[in-house]
Amino acid sequence: MSIVKGRALVTGGSGFIGSHLCERLLNEGYDVLCVDNFYSSTKDNIAHLLPNPRFELMRHDVTFPLYVEVDEIYHLACPASPIHYQRDPVQTTKTAVHGSINMLGLAKRTGAKILLTSTSEVYGDPLVHPQTEDYWGNVNPIGPRSCYDEGKRAAETLFFDYRRQHDLKIKVVRLFNTYGPRMHPHDGRVVSNFVVSALQGSPITIYGEGQQTRSFCYVTDLIDGLMAMMQSPDDVTGPINLGNPGEFTIAQLADLVIEQTGTASPITYLPLPEDDPVRRQPDITRARTQLGWEPTIALADGLATTIEYFRSTLD
C-alpha cells in the first residue's frame, strides 16, 4: 500500500503548466486537487488523470473564496498569454489580486505551504540584462499589458506581506518563457504561433525585425524547478527566477522551427506590439545555489517534442 505524501492544491491545474504539475504530483505520491474555471484552459489537458482515484477536479474561480483542506498550494491560476489576459483585463487583475488574497487566506487557515508562480513580466522591458531577482523592473503601469504585469507584482506584494504579518510559509518563483506539449495552439505565444503556422503552411509572423530575444524553458524542466522550490527549506521564500538562460533571437527561433518542420511557410514582418520587451534572459544563480536546479533540455530537443505534439493535435 503506497503512502500518500499529502494533499496538494493546484489552481489553474488544467492549464498548460498546471496539467504537467498535476501529473508530476500524482507520480510523486500526492493526492491532487485541481481547481480551474477553464477561462483559458481545457479539460483535454487533464482528461488522462481523471481515472486516478487520487486526482480530483473542481470547477472554481479563485476570485471567490475556496474552503478545502490541503497541505500544499501551487497557485498558478491566471491567464498568462497576451491574447487571453487582454481579453478581459479587469478580470485578469482581479484573478491576480483577489485570487492571491483568497489562496493566501486558505493557506493561513490550513497552515499550508503556498507557492506563487509569478512571471518575468514583473521586469517589464528590462534595463538590466540578464535579469536578477533584485532588479525592480521597468514596467508601464497603464499600458495594455499592465493588467498582467502589475497584477503579478501586486500578488508578490501580498505574498510577502502575508509572510511578514502572519508568518505564512510562502514561495515565489518568476517564470520565464516556457514551452512544450499541451500549449494552447492559439494562445499568441511565440513558440505555439510559429509551430502552428509552420505545420499549417501559413506565414510565420515576426514582430519587429526579429532581433528581440527570449529564453525558452522546456516544461518538464520547469516542473522540476517548481517541485524543488516547494520542497526547499521554509526560509527559502524567493523570489527565484525559473527559466532557461539560453538566449535566442526570435529570428533564430523561426529558423529552427522552419528547419524542424520542413515547412515552406514564408516569414512576414509586422510592427512590435506596445511594451513588448526587447531582451529577456533570466539570471538563475539563485535557483542553482538555493534549489540545486537548472534546466537540462536544449531548445532543439524540446522543440522537436513540441512540434510532434502539435502535429498530432492539429491532425
Residues tagged active-site: 148
| Count of CA atoms in the C-beta half-sphere (13 A) of 240 | 28
Give the list of residues 6+ apart from residue 93 with CB closer than 8 angstroms, or none. Answer: 147, 150, 151, 154
Maximal C-alpha separation, the chain = 59
Compute the distance between CA of residue 277 and CA of residue 136 in angstroms, rounded to an integer. 15
Pair 271, 311: CB distance under 8 Å: no
Torsion-angle region of 263 (φ positive above 0: left; ψ -120 to 50: alpha; else: beta): beta
Residue carrying the nine cell digits 532581433: 211
User: What burial class does residue 305 get, using C-beta atoms within 10 Å of its C-beta: 0-12 exposed, 13-18 middle, 19+ buried?
Assistant: middle
Compute the distance between CA of residue 70 and CA of residue 109 in angstroms, rounded to an integer. 10
CA distances from 74 to 18, 162, 172, 211, 279 (A): 9, 16, 10, 35, 28
Compute the distance between CA of residue 314 and CA of residue 301 in angstroms, rounded to an integer. 20
- 25 - beta bridge partners? none
* Strand boundaries in the chain, DSSP class E: 7-11, 31-36, 55-59, 72-75, 113-119, 170-175, 178-179, 204-207, 213-214, 217-218, 240-242, 248-249, 267-270
